[in-house]
Structure 1
Amino acid sequence: MSKAPKYFDRRFSWALLHPKYWLTWLAIGLLVFFAILPAWLRDPIAKGFALVVINIAKKPIHVARANLTTCFPEKSSTEIESLIKQNVQNFVMILLGQAELLVKSKQNIRERVQLHGFEHVQQAQAAEQPIIFIMPHVWGIDYAGLRLNLDLPSMVTMAKAHRNGLFDWFNNRMRSRLGANVYMREAGIRALLSELKQGNSFFYLPDEDLGPEKSVFAPFLGTVKATLPVVGRLASAGNAQVMPLKIGYNQQTRQFDLTVMPAIEPETMQGKLQEAIALNKAVEQVILAYPEQYMWFLRVLRTRPEGESSIY
């Protein structure tokens, strides 16, 4: 008998009302409150909160500074600090509005996220090929997922479980609101390959540092990065196209701009090193479009070449 798919359970459980979650419920309530506010009112409030975050989030900002200094050695310390300030502002603005993906209408998602380049998706559909969407860890990633899910109802994704069960439930209920399933990471690559063979598309986040095992080092911005070269084999086995996505929040229009980029040519992903190079180039394109909106606080450069000390 085959094992059941390892999806996150988005059903409500009475256990989520346990007193240990009461502070989390309060935080969720605040997120819902801010999500209901119009963006023109919410964004200035978020910028005020960002000043507080910059002063208290010392460890994440240390990581962000190390990442930015290593990835952009040509930038001055003043430019790095400006990027960090913008990064925190965008983080807080997007966080305070994110619950709208759960509590507001589908039409609101369409209006908030302007979709460009969908003709690339339509071309893949005409060829009867599913798509592996490449998107690194950017602040607007959930907006990208829900917006695409409106037009691609059979999409799936994969996420790492959090220690807080209520946060897991809330986050994955939001992500699966339109019917998409969110796999637990334990489901593994086989689960994603199975989805491709059923014609379903999914998100893949290629920028996470998963350690030296099976990873290869490839150029990345101003340094090198340990990259897991698995997408090319997945695409080949599942007859899929690989398309990078970029998304950024426009503070003037108070909308997100989501762009589906042309598919990566399969021949550029032949061999582990070539695939790692192609993946990192795609990630670079996405980051450089909105460098102030990437999750720089992640330890994406944790694994370093032999003999090189940690940047953190």
Structure 2
Amino acid sequence: MARQAKHFDRRFTLSLLHPKYWGTWLAIMVLFMFGVMPAWLRDPIARLLAKLVLSYAKKPINIARINIQTCFPEKSSTEVDELINANVDMFVLTLVSQAELLIRSDAHLRRRVSITGFEHVQAARDAGQPIIFIMPHVWPIDYAGLRLNIELPMVTMAKAHNNGLFNWFSNRLRSSKNGRVYMREAGIRALITELKQDNSFFYLPDEDLGPEQSVFAPLLATEKATLPVVGRLAQAGKAQVLPVKIGYDKAAYQFKLTVMPQVKPEDMQGKDNEAIALNKMVEQVIQAYPEQYMWFLKFLKTRPEGQAKIY
């Protein structure tokens, strides 16, 4: 019997109408209401809602403060607070905007997300190669992934949510441009198969997956446990590796997506070199738009031997 592909099922089932999901349905309806609003109206509302988040989300904000202080020890407490405030603003703005990715047209998404550096994508495609796009966890990550997915066939990988309805909604959104979202359990083989079928891959390299297969490499002012898998994946799938960054222009109500030049294969040879290269890509994105990064994640949970836990 053939192994079943471990990608998320985007089909709607009646089980999603169970009363336990009614609160989630209400939240989704609110998101759809925001999704049809023009950005000039929605953004000021998002900034007001962000003040509520700052008042109530004490635990996530504490995690963000620890992460920022660890990565930028030179920042004063005032500068840390300013970055947290800007980060919460971007979290809420992106959250309430998200439904537009599902209900608005491709033309709308092209207007909302401008692309710089697409010549690097075109060069890879002209060479007959798929692409592994590298982007760490930033709030507008779905804008980046779906904007690129309009231009070329893509897959990605995601962790399942505990809430079945939200799981369906988020992965329906992420696959709305005919992409495919794999579960983590699918493993590297499924991704190699996709690359060999000329489907590009959107990869998030900054999640802390524990010490077992990770390598420690410098990241800003600290060290981070990093999974060195991209080099082998690119080699097996004959793919180019292109870092991507994205920021939001508040005045233009537009996301600015930048595709950076190819990472040289020789820079990713060996696990240590690859971990260093991956963390440099993460640094590039954070330093370009520090307010966009998901500072609320425990991405520094695994510490080098002898170092105390920070959370």
Give the structure 2 partner of residue 176 of structure 1: 175
Q: Name segments (4+ residues, structure 1) moved above 6 Å.
A: none
C-alpha deviations, 1:260-293, integer Å up to 9, x for none?
1101011111111111000000110011110001
Give the structure 2 partner of residue 74 of structure 1: 74
Give the structure 1 partner of residue 233 of structure 2: 234
Report the residue type matching 2:310 in the other structure. I
Distance 1:248 1:309 in 2: 33
Q: CA deviation at 1:125?
A: 0.8
Give the structure 2 partner of residue 128 of structure 1: 128
Report the residue type matching 2:285 in the other structure. V
Pairing of 1:95-106 with structure 2 (within 5 A): 95-106=95-106
Q: CA deviation at 1:307?
A: 1.2
Give the structure 1 partner of residue 27 of structure 2: 27
Give the share of equivalent positions with the same residue, in percent. 68
Do structure 1's residue 12 and structure 2's residue 12 form an aligned pair?
yes
Q: CA deviation at 1:183?
A: 0.6
Secondary structure of 1:219's match? strand
Secondary structure of 2:11's match? coil
Give the structure 1 partner of residue 140 of structure 2: 140
Q: CA deviation at 1:224?
A: 0.5
Distance 1:175 1:225 in 2: 28
Give the structure 2 partner of residue 256 of structure 1: 255
C-alpha deviations, 1:126-185, integer Å up to 9, x for none?
111110000000001000111111111x21111110000100111111111111111111
Q: CA deviation at 1:55?
A: 0.9
Secondary structure of 1:156's match? strand
Report the residue type matching 1:137 in the other structure. H
Secondary structure of 2:257's match? strand
Q: Structure 2: where are the runs of 5+ without partners?
A: none
Distance 1:100 1:43 in 2: 13
Distance 2:239 2:44 in 1: 42
Report the residue type matching 1:204 in the other structure. Y
Distance 2:284 2:234 in 1: 20
Q: CA deviation at 1:190?
A: 1.1
- TM-score, normalization: structure 1? 0.99
Pairing of 1:172-251 with structure 2 (within 5 A): 172-251=171-250
Distance 1:39 1:126 in 2: 36
Distance 1:180 1:280 in 2: 26
Q: CA deviation at 1:294?
A: 0.2
Distance 1:19 1:272 in 2: 48
Secondary structure of 1:214's match? coil
Distance 1:198 1:217 in 2: 33
Q: Say which is worse superposed, 190-199 or 157-166, in terms of deviation.
A: 190-199
Distance 1:193 1:287 in 2: 28
Q: CA deviation at 1:8?
A: 0.6
